[in-house]
Amino acid sequence: MGNNPNAGTRRIINLRKEVLMARKAYSTPEQQAQANKRYYQSEDAILKRKMRNYKSNGKTFILNYATEADLQEYEAYIKARRKELEESNR
């Protein structure tokens, strides 16, 4: 690295470029679209999408529509879930 303080940074950038270039690339937009379609139909993608939607819907409800009674009910659910997680981690 010598006397150049940017030499380490340049090395990291070059390594990152090598990693990015090693990724699979598709020669046409149609091939990329087909790959995207295959992924979005996979079980993993479906589960991730469901979880993202549930999280977003719950947050929207709590922040915009929940009454005090609703919030107390959710707090009870959260306490029960935390207890389940603690027990499963033992």
pLDDT at 34: 92
4 torsion bin: left (phi>0), alpha (psi -120 to 50), beta (else)? beta
Quick check: 13 pLDDT over 80?
Answer: no
Is residue 70 within a helix (H) or strand (E), and if so which, with residue range?
helix 68-88
Report yes or no: 11 and 18 within 8 Å, Cβ to Cβ.
no
- Cα–Cα dist 8/14, whole Å: 10
This prediction's pTM: 0.56
pLDDT at 73: 97
Which tokens sit at 16?
Answer: 């990152």
* Average pLDDT score over residue span 10-14: 70
- At 18-71, the pLDDT tens digits run 655 556 788 898 999 999 999 999 999 999 999 999 999 999 999 999 999 999
- Cα–Cα dist 26/34, whole Å: 10
